[in-house]
Structure 1
Amino acid sequence: MACARVPLDEQQVTEAGPLGNQRTLPALHPDRTEERCFVPYKPPPEGYSSAGVEEFLEHAKFILEDLEWLLALPHDKFWCQVVFDESLQRCLDSYLHHAPRGLDLAALPPSPAVADVQRGVHRAVFLTFLRMATHKESKENFFTPAVFGEIIYDNFLFDIPKILDLCVLFGKGNSQLLHKMIENIFTQQPSYYSDLEETVPTVLLVFDTVLDKCGHQCEGAAAMEPMKLNAHKQPTAMTMSQQDLADIILYLCDSTTTIHAFLDIFPAACSSFQSHAFLSRLTSFYETAVPDLEKAVRKRNFDNKSLQEDLWKRLSHSCRKMVETAHLLLHHTCLQPILEGRENMQTFAEDLLQYFTSFLPEKRFLADYDEHFPIADDISLLHQALPVIDETRTSYLLQGVQSAWDCVGRQKPQSHIHSRASPSFSDNQGAEGGAAAASSGGFKPQEVPDLRGRREDPQGAEAMLDVPRKGNNGAVCPVSEAERESLLFCIKDLLPDLGEGFLLACLEEYNYSSELVINNILEDRLAPNLEKLDRAMPRPVKKELPVVLNNRSNVFDDDEFDVFRRDQVDMSRIWKGRRKGESAREILNDKQHIEEQRARYRAYETVVDEVIIQPGESAAAYDLDDYDDEYDDTYDVNQVGANDLDGDSLLNRRPFTIPQVLRKGTKAEVEDEGDDDDDEQENALQNNTNRDQFVQDPALLRERADARRAAMQQRKGIQPERPSKVLGRPKGQGQTLDTFLDRRKKETNKSHVANHNRRSMADRKRNKGMIPS
């Protein structure tokens, strides 16, 4: 067996040969490879056929068993299998190529068995690459660092495309582990940096390809080629087929997500991307292609509305990842050195301002970038770190940002809250599992715990397919009725056996995120309150709102003209304006309503104190009860105090008087009421002097007011003001001194009312000799 403290690349092993003789071989030798065929990976079926699901489960279980067997091998056997078994590399490459990405998880069949097997294969592949990227597992099992770098590089165990796929597949929840893996690979084999430099131009071809498919002229080297004669026939986003449009958006979504995941996990690659002017190409592509693609997805008529919604979601995801990628490049190449206080901070600040200045022509990109990563905050940081920054230049940048918001027709948010340490959106925050795995395992590039026969899942692997339970930190995201119906329709297509009421409750719990609902239902990780619900629960019946007309309250309710409750109305009694054939005099002379009321009032004239029951009549006819021997009738006959001399007799009743408006004016009625009218007129004449007048005499009112004023002044000891004698005597009879003084006072004080002190200023000029007197 292998000797302790000796690197694996220097170890020699002795084992039996094919003929039974003993032979000595290097620890890494093809003859030590086990005969085992690793089958390639196939993704889960898109349909719901039981045969396809069964085939996938059987195929995936083979892969899972083979990878678990591989991970259980000793260190030397594991590396022999990794280096010399080509079927293993084909299996791993097929998984990186065909495994569903984050946005594809919603398309998995609604089967818990499929989700469990997929999660198991995902974890096994991740642990296999994790062990392949480790050159020292323990003090006894390790490689010489230089030899390890040559082995992984010469045998293509890792290359830049594989590393990109690893980042996008396993980055969420395992970012710290992946960062240490990739950093270890680049540290032990620096040749990967040169490969990265050669890969960036290929990545830039993604933007050129999309621009060319959308009918736009490409930038860079492709722009130097002469335009073809049939270039005007190039289809655009609005004219190409729906399948081509879907392929372009899927291609763009996959590319932007992969680039962002790689730069987020391995920030050291940002300098290589910036050396090829990646940021300027990215912003120019965003400004040119994104508006056309958004317009095509919104305005084209799709046969399948779910396809349109999926394309819009992927295009929005691509835009968000491009904005985040731009921020990552600026943060790690310009902002981070300033925050760390490195040398040549002025140079980094100048580069940052230069990048911001280059964003000014790209109005759409600038507004979207400023919405998520406010440029004003970065400029404020520059002023704090370097007070010598030109304020005129920064003011110009801020004005350009505001101009970009105005050009796109949007209103800039009032406040932004973002973390500079981890610039990403809420749906990309899933590193809790990776952080826990790193802290629990104590992973280091040179020292990794033994992975053979591990029976419990690391927390990082547990979180590989996990997604946050609530988006936007639990903030409520209200949606319209149409949007809610659209989300419900999409989930219902994937999960037809679930009731609409249950799905609506799930959408409300997960803030109307269809991806979270589908993922948690498939993985059976619903919230406790949702687990208690019936999964076939129908949609609750909407309570019909009561009709407003039935609940109205009006003075015309239930009358003969209530059209809301009567089907038949006497239209002969309804007319507009004056009736035909009627004159105003006839209407005024119609006293029918008075005759109707006269009979009612005549009923009150008859007041009967005693009712005489004639022989043969019963008391029941007059509602008279039988005699009650317990009734106290002491005072029924004796009217106590009724006939006192100090007043009229209470037994004398005042005769009933018919209202004036109901009288016919006959002679009998006039005579009956004549005496009473005379008495009332005499009393009215006697009290005429004391009755309230509508308008009193103004002279009398002034006398009363003067009397009250004089009494008040006398109480306060105020001398009454001398009456003015401006009028004086008639002309020719001479004037008194009081008249002369009053006239002079009036002349002097005229300026308080009008003429604006003209009189006093004239006197002042005259006194100074300016006006000859």
Structure 2
Amino acid sequence: MSITINGELSNLEKKSLDQLVFRIPADDGLTPCSMPALHKHWAPRANFVTYVSLLTQYGRVKSGVELEEWQYNSNCFCKDMNFLLNCRHHEFWSYMVFQKTALAAVVSFLQRSTPFYLNVWSQIVQQQNIIEIYEQILELVLRIVCRLITNRESDEAWLSVEHQRELIYKNYLISVPMLFDLLMAVGDADPQNTAILRRIFDSLLRIEPNYKQDILAALSFFRTAFRSIQTQAENEGFEGAGGGDLDENAETPYDDVALYTLDCAYSLSVLLAVCPEVQALCAEIKLGQSIAQFYDNTIPFLYKNIFLINEAATSLGWLNMSRLEYLKAFRSIAYSFVEAAMANPVDSMPNAEQLIGLLTECLSEQTFVNDYGRLYPVELDVDILKQTCKNLDGFKASFIVQGYQQESKSTVDKNNPKPNKKTKNSSKLNNKNNQTLNKDTNISSSTAVAQERDIDLEVTSVLDVLPHLGTGFVRRILSRYNNGEEAIAAILENNLPPDLVNADQTEVYIPPDPQDKTYQQTGVKHFNVYDGDAYDVMTQDNPKCIIKQGKGMPNAPRDAAQMLDDKSDLAELKSRYQAYTLVSEGESSNDEYNDEYDDSYEALLESETRVVKSKQLKAGLANVEDVSDEESEDDQETAEDKSNLDAQTDRNKRLNFCENPEDIRARYEARRQAKWGNRNHGGNFDNNSKTRDVVGAPKGQGQDKDTLRNRDKKEKNKSSRANHNRKMGAAFKRSKGMMG
């Protein structure tokens, strides 16, 4: 509990802000009451002045009455910021947490501040007081942000890191958009500014690590911004598309797009410079590849559209500045892998492979490759990786170095110095960027002339836009221009050469007949497109080819598969094995195999009748011994005899190459007699057979043992026969063709 000394609140127990409670007088002035140190009671003021921007649209400084109004507003804003800084520790945090207008005033300046990269101070160089007021406001806001990330001001004014993390992150006292606005307000033009921003980001990430994921989500937004810029650059000037109506102060319809491109470039490059922890996150979202693609496709297209409208537009300088910043941002991403490999040489292979993969994927963007190779030599990074990582693939490394050196070395303008020195003067930077851009324009034009043109493809592209033209007329126009885009522009603007103004626009192109050229060269008239070439056997005595017949090349050595597949030796053995196919015919019929008996036996099986079966059953039952009282024991003995017989039969089968038919018939007959001998369907085949009685004596007179045993056996086996298994009976009928 704190006490009041001479009207001032003090924290004698040195408690943290979340545990600190003050004793203040009650409303009646008699009994004191307790009040937490972090409470809206300590933030009674609700009105704070919001900051008004010094610039108008498109980066111009206000003048006249607007400038005087800004000066008055800025003075009031300075007083409010001084008020927040002069508040005691618990009052400052109470204002920032409970009084939203105080935080909104700070955010208003960051959102409307003058970007550090715009050279606007030269417009008001005669009004030094305006510059001093702005610099004072920037310093006050920066001090407020630093106070938010400071948890201990003195032994009596402090709060725990956990409480500070909760207050900042959950109450959005510092957000990721606010950090990006802070980057644009402070910048990295001065080393002291860079050091301050680096300390702010390091402290913030240490207090709350979740800011790293929020910054990663913000980096992913840059890819969306690139697509939006490309869409606006392609659709600007058409009704209902682009940035809207053209402002009277705008030099071209693309000024706002160019300024947005520059703002994204500086935001990205400064962020990667002051927060190295973010560089590793760019590889997860492939931001480097997106930068290269945007640099190669959108920026040249945007520059060309602005240049065609106004050659002296200020937005051209903005695009030049953005090019350097995008290259700088890509350099920060690429060099982060080199630094990681140097910091951990033992496990440097993954970082080396990531750098090689990044540079390889960007090789298709030729404009980007040329500029990056001249500004940041790739061979130096590769040499460092080779020294650090011994297992680096030398072929891939050499391929990357050659790819980034090939164009840059062949197109370097020796008369102009390389733009590799930094400068603080914005005018010098703009001049250097203009020189670089002009040099790149000459490079691209000379490279385009050197490359072989595909006239058919260009004709198709022109006809897609102007399908009413003839192919012959389009070819004649393309012969006067470097590409199809220039030809389309000349046609639409009616800016054709004088000899083509009155030409027939429906002229059709008839290609020359290749047969005529072949006939002139060879003197032989054929009707094949390949006649007269180096492989024509009709016109060439020694054609540049091998004439082969059949499989394989002539006199070529045989491989292993052909040698294993060779069956020429089998032809020599064919005559020997043909002798085994002949069977000699003897004089008597005993020398031949007689299978008449087997055929008759098969015919007997097919023509058996119920009478024959009954006779055989009677003959078999006459030789079967009487069935004992215990039928289960007889069945067991019969099964043993049967198994012994089958075992003996199996042994005989294995010993004999061809089993004797007599043995087969005897075994079949014995098995059949044993089957029918154990069955009795109520009929008396002879006097010795027993009838299985299941009816027994009348009820109440008792039943003998045989009747009970027969009843039990019938009960157990009734489901396999008769009417108890209709499915089996139906299947049997269908198999015999009885479908009734």
Query: Normalising to structure 1: TM-score of the pair?
Result: 0.49
Q: 1:204 aligns with which of 202, 214, 223?
A: 223
The aligned residue for residue 298 of structure 1 is: 307
SS of the residue aligned with 1:193? Answer: helix
* Residue number among 108, 124, 143 corresponding to 1:109 in the alignment: 124
Change (3 A) 1:149 1:16: same
Change in CA separation of 1:195 and 1:470 when aligned onto 2, cut-off 3 Å: closer
Matched, 1:262 2:271: yes
1:405 to 404, 408, 412: 408
Deviation at 1:285, TM superposition (A): 1.1
Cα separation, 2, equivalents of 1:178 and 1:11? 32
Q: What SS class does the counterpart of residue 299 from structure 1 fall into?
A: helix
Matched residues in 2 for 1:478 and 1:312: separation? 10
Task: Please list the CA deviations of residues 546-568 of structure 1 after superposition, one character each: whole Å capped at 9, or x if unmatched.
Answer: xxxxxxxxxxxxxxxxxxxxxxx
Residue 326 of structure 1 aligns with an amino acid whose one-letter code is F
8 A Cα contact 2:252 2:306, kept in partner: no
Q: Confirm or deny: 8 A CA contact 1:7 1:143 kept in the other structure.
A: yes
Out of 29, 32, 37, which is 2:47 matched to? 37
Quote the Cα distance in structure 2 between the aligned partners of 1:60 and 1:91: 12
Output the amino acid matched with 1:381: I
Which of structures 1 and 2 has the larger relative contact order (alpha carbons within 8 angstroms, sep 6+)?
1
Aligned residue type for 1:170: V
Change in CA separation of 1:331 and 1:190 when aligned onto 2, cut-off 3 Å: same
In structure 2, distance between residues paired with 1:135 and 1:77: 14
> How far off its partner does 1:325 sit?
0.5
Q: Do residues 156 (structure 1) and 181 (structure 2) align? A: no
Look up the match of 2:211. Answer: 192
Shift of 1:167: 1.9
Matched with 1:91 is 105
Shift of the 416–248 alpha-carbon distance from structure 1 to 2, 3 Å rule, reads closer
The 5 A counterparts of 1:300-699 are 300-301=309-310, 305=312, 308=313, 310-332=314-336, 334-405=337-408, 409-411=411-413, 426-427=422-423
Q: Distance in 1 between matches of 2:416 and 2:427?
A: 24
C-alpha distance in 2, partners of 1:479/1:282? 21
TM-superposed deviation, 1:49? 4.1
Residue by residue, what CA displacement relative to the aligned partner does 1:134-193 show, whole Å, maximum 9, x if unpaired? 122233322111111110011110111111111222233322222222222222222222
Deviation at 1:39, TM superposition (A): 0.6
Q: Structure 1 residue 23: deviation in Å?
A: 1.4
Residue type of the alignment partner of 2:159 = F
Give the structure 2 partner of residue 174 of structure 1: 193
1:253 to 251, 257, 262: 262
Tell me which residue corresponds to 1:8. Answer: 17
Q: Deviations over 1:379-430 (max 9, x none)?
A: 12122223443333222222212333378x4458999897xxxxxx614xxx
Structure 1 residues 33 and 398, CA, compared in 2 at 3 Å: closer, same or farther?
same
- Give me the whole-angstrom Cα distance separating, in 2, the residues matched to 1:292 and 1:236: 17
Q: Which residue of 1 aligns with 2:713?
A: none
- After superposition, the Cα gap between the structure-2 partners of 1:470 and 1:100, relative to the gap in structure 1 and judged at 3 Å, is closer
Match of 2:509 in 1: none
Unaligned runs of 5+ in 1: 217-230, 419-424, 428-466, 484-773
Residue 171 and residue 141 in structure 1: after superposition, are their counterparts in 2 closer, same or farther (change >3 A)?
Answer: farther
Output the CA distance in 2 between the equivalents of 1:76 and 1:57: 32
Q: Displacement, 1:62? A: 0.7
Q: SS of the counterpart of 2:150?
A: coil
Q: What's the % identity of the aligned pairs?
A: 19
Change (3 A) 1:160 1:281: same
Residues 88 and 326 of structure 1: CA distance in aligned 2, closer, same or farther (over 3 Å): same
Inter-partner Cα distance in structure 2 for 1:297 and 1:469: 21
- Describe the SS at the equivalent of 1:14: strand
- Conservation of the 8 A alpha-carbon contact between 2:317 and 2:434: no
Residue type of the alignment partner of 1:42: V
Change (3 A) 1:373 1:478: closer
Judge conservation of contact 2:317–2:433 (CA < 8 Å) in 1.
no
SS at match of 1:23: strand
Q: Alignment partner of 2:124: what SS? A: coil
Q: Give me the whole-angstrom Cα distance separating, in 2, the residues matched to 1:116 and 1:164.
A: 24
SS in 1 for 2:24: strand
2:350 is paired with a residue whose SS is: helix
RMSD in angstroms over aligned alpha carbons?
3.5
Kept in 1: contact 2:352–2:385 (CA 8 A): yes
| DSSP-derived class of the 2:23 partner | strand
8 Å CA contact 1:135–1:145 kept in 2: the answer is: yes
Query: Partner residue of 2:296?
Result: 287
Matched, 1:26 2:29: no
Instruction: Write the distance in 2 (CA, Å) between the matches of 1:370 and 1:34.
Output: 59
For residue 42 of structure 1, report the CA deviation from its aligned partner.
0.5
Per the TM alignment, residue 48 of structure 1 is displaced from its structure 2 partner at its CA by 6.1
Please list, as runs of the form range in 1=range in 2, the aligned pairs for 1:692-731 lying within 5 A after superposition: none
Deviation of residue 47 (structure 1)? 5.9
Counterparts in 2 of 1:256 and 1:49: CA distance versus 1, 3 Å: closer
In structure 2, distance between residues paired with 1:469 and 1:365: 23
For the 8 Å contact 1:167–1:265, the answer to whether it is kept is no
Q: Deviations over 1:18-56 (max 9, x none)?
A: 443421111100011141521100022556644222211
Partner SS, residue 50 of structure 2: coil
Partner deviation per Cα, 1:557-607 (whole Å, 9 max, x = no partner): xxxxxxxxxxxxxxxxxxxxxxxxxxxxxxxxxxxxxxxxxxxxxxxxxxx
Cα offsets for 1:437-467 (capped at 9, x unmatched): xxxxxxxxxxxxxxxxxxxxxxxxxxxxxx5
Assess, with a 3 A threshold, how the Cα gap between structure 1 residues 6 and 215 changes in structure 2: closer, same or farther.
Answer: same
Deviations along 1:512-558, whole A, 9 cap, x unmatched?
Answer: xxxxxxxxxxxxxxxxxxxxxxxxxxxxxxxxxxxxxxxxxxxxxxx
Q: What amino acid maps onto 1:94 in structure 2?
A: S
How far did 1:478 drift? Answer: 14
Mapped contact 1:68–1:124 kept (Cα < 8 A): yes
**Aligned AA for 1:70?**
L
Structure 2 gap ranges (5+)? 1-9, 439-740
Distance 1:343 1:157, change over 3 A: farther
